[in-house]
Amino acid sequence: MIPPATRNMSRSGARIPYRIPFEGVVTDWGEGGCGVIRQDGIAVSIQGALLGEHVTYDVIQQRRRRANGRLLSVSSGSPWRTQSACDHYPTCGGCRFQGVSTAEQATLKQAWLAQHIQSINPTWATLMRPMIEAPTLRHYRNKMEFSFGLGPDGVVLGLKARGDFKRVWPVPQCQLTVPFWQDLHQLVMIWVSQWGLSAYDPVSHEGVLRYLMIRHSQHTGAAIVVVVVASPITDAMGALATMLMGRWGIQGVGMAIQATWSDSAFSDQVTVMAGSLTLQDAVGDTLYEIEPYSFFQTNATQVTALHGVIEALVDPQSDWGILDLYCGGGGIGLALAKKVAWVVGIESNPYAIQSAHRNAQLNQVGNLTIIEGTVRRVLKEMERDPLRPDVVIADPPRSGMEPKSILRMVALRPKQVVMVSCQPKTLAHDLGQLMGLGYQPDVIQGVDMFPNTPHMEVVVRLRPIDIL
């Protein structure tokens, strides 16, 4: 008989035996879309388990009062669970919610967001608007990075297997990326075979092929392909460029050198093998130039909805000034610049700053200024500047804002602060600090930017408590 979680023989906080099946009911929503079962004071996160399900699982890792479990079977499924349309699910690490419908994914994400928001202030649940659903679950990503790896029969091209960065699961068909991926995958694998190329091994650090990046513009239909390699393969890449150029709207092929041991597709050594590696995409009536490593939201359809939410909450006035923190390549600040007196962006990445300047010229925007530096440093310098923004928009990295940056942002006393975040947990922490400094949220809006995954974007508008 499989023991229930509530009758586990371990003491509270003690070790749970590994690889022994347990039964339990998923009662909470955890990080990364995991279902959580409370087992004698220990939170066991189980990938693939949904809220309310009665499941059988075992524990594969534990740290203090948290553990990771493996889903073995579902004896009483959630009404939200549906049959996955992808043959690679759940082994492939690309999607975690393949078995959940669009509306139900939005419901689950709303519940996770509420869990974090209410941990700071339970009354804030009344400020939450319904999650904006994604219009489609398929072919929505305009950028994908596929990995090369070594399979039983040689080189494979796909995505890292779930929970195992060393193993690549072959993905000849993918519902996330461009519709022509199957044909592109087949052609690339022919090229690999013809040239006798090897896949990079993250353990031995031998081999050459690391990643294949594809970027696609929904605005123009054009695409670029960049192969990330451990060392140059110029002749082979020239042959691949000849094979790909002109097919499926591919306008450029590049080679990027990534010679470090870091498991990353990023490279500052990119060679154009054919055509151009600069795409043009649009959000509403704002145009953006996109290069291989430019930051641009991966769901071009939903980023229009995201920008629309931000603009509606800001309600820009022609005599206002806007401070755009972590502005990247211009983003929302560029879109709002046409409707306000001035926009100042702060960005530390020089490549993003160059992109922002090009995008401003492309859109004939003359009232956007970009200051290079960290948000923390530049905000301190702005304390001596008599010019004060009416609105501050902050879209920090997943780790959230530094406490000192929040202090210096609030010291500017803007009429509004609009927080944009892809991580509800760190967002809730930042909101807690802002509340302690006199700013209170009045609208919380989630946007399902990343269907089939647990990720989302959240927009929160805050105003000084004394004017609410």
CATH number for the domain harbouring residue 212: 2.40.50.1070
Please write down the long-range contacts of 69-74, taking CB distance under 8 Å and 24 or more positions apart. 69/37, 69/44, 69/45, 70/46, 71/46, 71/47, 72/21, 74/49
- The answer on 401 and 334 residing in a single domain is yes
- Is residue 416 one of the residues assigned to a domain? yes
Q: With contact defined as beta carbons under 8 Å apart, do 359 and 351 qualify? A: no
Q: Which of 17, 43, 76 is the last residue of a domain?
A: 76
- Is residue 289 one of the residues assigned to a domain? no
Note down the domain range covering 54: 5-76
pLDDT value of position 25:
94
What is the average per-residue pLDDT within 345-349? 94
Q: Which of 46, 76, 106 is the last residue of a domain?
A: 76
Q: With contact defined as beta carbons under 8 Å apart, do 390 and 320 qualify? A: yes
pLDDT value of position 160:
87
Residue 47's pLDDT band (boundaries 50, 70, 90)? confident
pLDDT value of position 1:
59
- Is residue 63 one of the residues assigned to a domain? yes
Q: Is the pLDDT of residue 167 over 90?
A: no
- The residue that leads in pLDDT, 34 or 407, is 407
- The answer on 166 and 303 residing in a single domain is no
- Is residue 112 one of the residues assigned to a domain? no
Number of domains within the chain: 3
What is the average per-residue pLDDT within 400-406? 96
- The answer on 273 and 374 residing in a single domain is no
Among 179-183, 298-302, 401-405, 429-433, where is mean pLDDT lowest? 298-302
- The answer on 333 and 259 residing in a single domain is no
Among 2-6, 122-126, 231-235, 454-458, where is mean pLDDT lowest? 2-6
For the chain, what is the mean pLDDT? 91
- The answer on 390 and 343 residing in a single domain is yes
- The answer on 227 and 168 residing in a single domain is yes
Report CA Rg, the chain: 24
- The answer on 458 and 416 residing in a single domain is yes
pLDDT value of position 5:
64
Encoded amino acid at 224, one letter: I
- The answer on 147 and 258 residing in a single domain is yes
- The answer on 311 and 231 residing in a single domain is no
Residue 383 sits at the vertex; the CA angle it makes with 380 and 388, to the nearest 5 degrees, is: 125
Q: With contact defined as beta carbons under 8 Å apart, do 416 and 280 qualify? A: no
Residue 468's pLDDT band (boundaries 50, 70, 90)? low
- By three-state DSSP, how is residue 116 classified? helix
- Which pair of structure tokens corresponds to residue 156? 């494979």
Kindly write down the DSSP assignment for every residue of 373-429, as one continuous string.
S-HHHHHHHHTT-S---SEEEE---TT---HHHHHHHHHT--SEEEEEES-HHHHHH
For residues 426 and 432, what is the distance between their CA atoms, to the nearest angstrom? 10
- The answer on 175 and 222 residing in a single domain is yes
- The answer on 438 and 303 residing in a single domain is yes
Q: Which of 283, 318, 346 is the last residue of a domain?
A: 283
